[in-house]
């Protein structure tokens, strides 16, 4: 991971806005986390299908009692806005793509002084994500970091993301949303809640997002599938090509062989059913900064 950078000015992110008297209650019935959050922090949350599969992951914040901003990949903002609008019905809420109205910047370390109408909130373990009105005049600052630098931190910290290529591919727990703060199990009903809650309480999620590094040069992208050198099937969540041509990546896969949480043969076949787009001869499994739950089995 490259160190010493300060600012990334192009993160490939956009902004969804929900405002109106019913904005909070509407989002509460759509997203996997509790939207009664206080102002001044980001909240990781998921927007899921009724089958519990993640359509998009959002970084949500409240800027007023009835006004929310959500940051997500720019390529998903428009389709998510259209999808949410289908369920507004009589609710007093406006869902809009506000991406053109905002600048989104990522900082490492302490954030700089920004305009009063900017939002700059903690992200990950040592970064900040800033959402700044497009009209705001910013002091000159060298954009010495790249999107790859930001992505390297996300991979090292085990932070998932969903893109068009992986939208509706993974159940919430496959992306470790239950251990990275993206699910509130004590909130009311929301889209996908039944499947997500069942997966949690029965402990049947066997495939989990894990961190790897390839031992040979390769080119990986989100959504690609293949086989690891130990025979496990995988599907890429996030990947970064390093200077030497090797890749560091997050992928959903079964646990390593001979572990207490090893998956069943039928579970492995389910993931392997997708036509592979890449086969890795050899990988190194890297540690995540958090522990993954152990598969408990149907009789626990």
Question: How is the chain split into domains, by residue range?
Answer: 8-135+143-156, 206-286
- Interatomic CA distance for residues 185 and 277, integer angstroms: 35
List Cβ neighbours of 147 (8 Å cut-off, separation of 6 or more): 8, 10, 11, 12
Domain made up of 8-135+143-156: CATH architecture: 2-Layer Sandwich (3.30)
pLDDT at 273: 55
**Mean pLDDT of the residues in the chain:** 88
Confidence category of residue 278, pLDDT binned at 50, 70, 90: low
Number of CB atoms found within 10 A of residue 237's CB: 28
65 HSE (CA, 13 A, CB side): 1
Mean pLDDT, range 137-145, rounded to an integer = 72
CA distances (Å), origin 73, targets 12, 15, 35, 209, 244: 6, 8, 20, 19, 27
pLDDT higher than threshold 60 for residue 150: yes
- Interatomic CA distance for residues 160 and 56, integer angstroms: 10
Residues 253-272 have pLDDT tens digits of 998 876 654 444 444 445 54
Mean pLDDT, range 127-133, rounded to an integer = 94
Mean pLDDT, range 86-100, rounded to an integer = 95
- Among the residue ranges 151-155, 199-203, 283-287, the one predicted with the least confidence is 199-203
Number of CB atoms found within 10 A of residue 146's CB: 15
pLDDT at 139: 67
């Amino acid at each position: 991971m490259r160190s010493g950078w300060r600012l990334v000015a192009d993160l490939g992110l956009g902004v969804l806005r929900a405002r109106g008297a019913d904005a909070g209650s509407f989002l509460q019935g759509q997203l996997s986390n509790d939207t009664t959050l206080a102002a001044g922090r980001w909240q990781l949350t998921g927007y899921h299908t009724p089958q519990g599969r993640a359509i998009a992951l959002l970084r949500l914040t409240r800027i007023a009692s009835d006004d929310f901003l959500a940051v997500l990949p720019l390529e998903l903002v428009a389709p998510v806005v259209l999808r949410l609008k289908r369920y507004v019905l009589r609710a007093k809420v406006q869902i809009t793509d506000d991406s053109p109205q905002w600048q989104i910047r990522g900082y490492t370390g302490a954030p700089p002084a920004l305009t009063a109408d900017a939002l700059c909130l903690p992200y990950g373990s040592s970064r900040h994500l800033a959402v700044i009105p497009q009209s705001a005049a910013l002091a000159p600052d060298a954009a010495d970091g790249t999107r790859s630098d930001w992505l390297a931190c996300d991979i090292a910290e085990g932070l998932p993301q969903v893109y068009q290529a992986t939208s509706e591919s993974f159940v919430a727990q496959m992306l470790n949303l239950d251990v990275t703060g993206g699910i509130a199990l004590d909130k009311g009903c929301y889209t996908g809640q039944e499947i997500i809650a069942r997966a949690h309480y029965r402990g049947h999620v066997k495939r989990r997002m894990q961190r790897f590094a390839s031992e040979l040069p390769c080119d990986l992208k989100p959504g690609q599938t293949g086989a690891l050198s130990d025979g496990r099937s995988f599907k890429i969540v996030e990947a970064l090509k390093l200077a030497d041509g090797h890749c560091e990546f997050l992928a959903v896969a079964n646990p390593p062989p001979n572990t207490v949480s090893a998956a069943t043969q039928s579970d492995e076949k389910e993931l392997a059913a997708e036509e592979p787009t890449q086969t890795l001869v050899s990988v190194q499994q890297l540690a995540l900064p958090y522990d993954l739950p152990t598969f408990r089995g149907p009789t626990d």
